[in-house]
Structure 1
């Protein structure tokens, strides 16, 4: 199946790295030249978050478990760290999801849209895309 270059109208934003030892992970990222421009606790997701851009490498969102059960529990069962999602920005969530489905991809909502404190309360949602993995969709401001 052929697609135009932007069939899904998505732009890469960052990758999500889950870690049980965020300070060690941050030390590694800093050693690579990443900055930490924002750190927050997100009560809607029950995770601690750090946004770590780099001048010439992809931005990393470091995600660490907070107290109690949370979305990383299953992801971090076999490893203390894992790159577990790719985030894409979209101008139109409904249109992007429809384009993915029209492209023949099975898309399952894992977490419906909610405000993300790390991104100025812009709406984020998570989806499992069969044959690809977990994607986060960040709605443009």
Structure 2
């Protein structure tokens, strides 16, 4: 299975406030994701990678509790992968826990994403390429 690093995801109180303190990065896109109930912004980074800022819209957001518990913080790493069936088999063999998805992601032009928790308690997102 091939994994290509895509972005880091950072949960923040306010995208507008947080981006003022970032190194200069070009904003690629900003969307409201109704499935994750969050405002999301994607920024170009170095070497074909990105930074995603995640601002929960309310307590129904998938990242609300994380923000409440930890404040602004690195939330996840994300990789582009092949078909979901291959990823699912790969994850099952490693006993990773699927926590969300696959669902269409507004930030990534409705490509499907899925989140897993690994045995080190790290949240990893995968953008599925079918």
TM-score (norm 2): 0.89
Which of the two has higher C-alpha Rg? 1
User: Which stretches in structure 2 are left out of the alignment for 5+ residues?
Assistant: none
Partners of 1:12 and 1:96 in 2: CA distance: 15
**Corresponding residue of 2:66:** 75
Partners of 1:82 and 1:95 in 2: CA distance: 30
Partners of 2:121 and 2:58 in 1: CA distance: 30
What is the Cα-based RMSD across aligned positions, in Å?
1.8
1:91-124 CA distance string (max 9 Å, x none): 122212322433xx22111112111111111001
Residue 108 (1) aligns with residue 97 (2): yes
Residue 124 (1) aligns with residue 113 (2): yes
Residue 41 (1) aligns with residue 56 (2): no
Partners of 1:28 and 1:56 in 2: CA distance: 21
User: Which stretches in structure 1 are left out of the alignment for 5+ residues?
Assistant: 1-7
Aligned mate of 2:44, from 41, 53, 70: 53
SS in 2 for 1:28: coil
Partners of 1:37 and 1:57 in 2: CA distance: 12
